[in-house]
Amino acid sequence: MVVSTKAIVISKIKYNDSDLIVKCYTASSGVKSYMIKNALKSKKGKIRPAYFQLLSLLEIEADHKETRSLHYLKEVRLYKPYESLHTNIFKSTVLLFLSEILSMILNEEEANRPLFEYIETTLLWFDTVENTGVFHHQFLMGLTKFLGINPDTENNELPYFNLQEGKFQANSWEHCVTGEKLELLKPFLGTKFDTSLLIELSSSQKQELLNMILGYFKLHLQGFKHPKSLTVLSHVYS
């Protein structure tokens, strides 16, 4: 079946000397992987490797067959070229990190339009702002809503937040945060992106906050692993 849809590039790997396998999150069908024949060899091909930079926003025409794990692209175009995400070292490092996270957690081959629109909208917003410091923290916390693991923000006057249960509580327990760590986390339990621009954190605070968020994901998402790109991200933002 030939499908026309928006797609977000999640990952790409070189296959043989000339081909690419590209994993995309599509608006119409969720996660799909595509074989791009001769993408690295032919200079005259209409589907160029430059289209498949991480988290690029594409419009594609693709041949989807249920019996295949790899599908084929007929047409590709950038529908919202970024101004800064692939050229700003801080932003491109964030894209590397987030694409690894998305590649781990997005596996379903079915449409989830609200999730697609969330990723699309937040990336376009990130492309326009200069303050990059806590975008990835906010993006990951926003994802929890669409993954069905969003924290319960009621009773936020209580002194402990249980990362495993995803709620505030009166007593300490395993996987609880409190004190300074809790004060770091609280603003990101429901903060809007525009508001997050006003949050100023030191490098060590950003790292502490990110560790808590990744710990939350690990507790709630089966198979979630420590991102390899975290080392690069930490180095760039140190």
96 touches 90 (CB < 8 A):
no
pLDDT of residue 3: 92
* Range list for CATH 2.40.50.140 in the chain: 2-78
Q: Which CATH class is domain 2-78?
A: mainly beta
End-to-end CA distance of the chain: 48
Tell me the average confidence (pLDDT) per consecutive run of 10 residues in the chain, 238 residues long.
95 91 96 90 76 97 90 94 96 98 92 97 95 91 95 95 97 96 91 74 94 97 95 89
Fold type of domain 89-236: de novo design (two linked rop proteins) (1.20.1440)
Q: Which DSSP symbol is given to 163?
A: T
pLDDT of residue 45: 66
pLDDT of residue 191: 66
pLDDT of residue 214: 98
Q: What are phi and psi of 101, to 5 degrees?
A: -60, -50
pLDDT of residue 43: 65
Give the pairing type, strands 30-36 and 160-162. Answer: unpaired
pTM of the predicted structure, to 2 decimals: 0.93
223 to 107, 116, 132, 136, 226: CA distances (angstroms): 12, 22, 28, 21, 10
The amino acid occupying position 112 is N
- 3-state percent helix, strand, coil for the chain, nearest multiple of 5: 35, 20, 40
181/73 Cα distance (integer angstroms): 47
* Range list for CATH 1.20.1440.120 in the chain: 89-236
- Axis crossing angle, helix 135-147 with helix 113-128, rounded to the nearest 10: 170
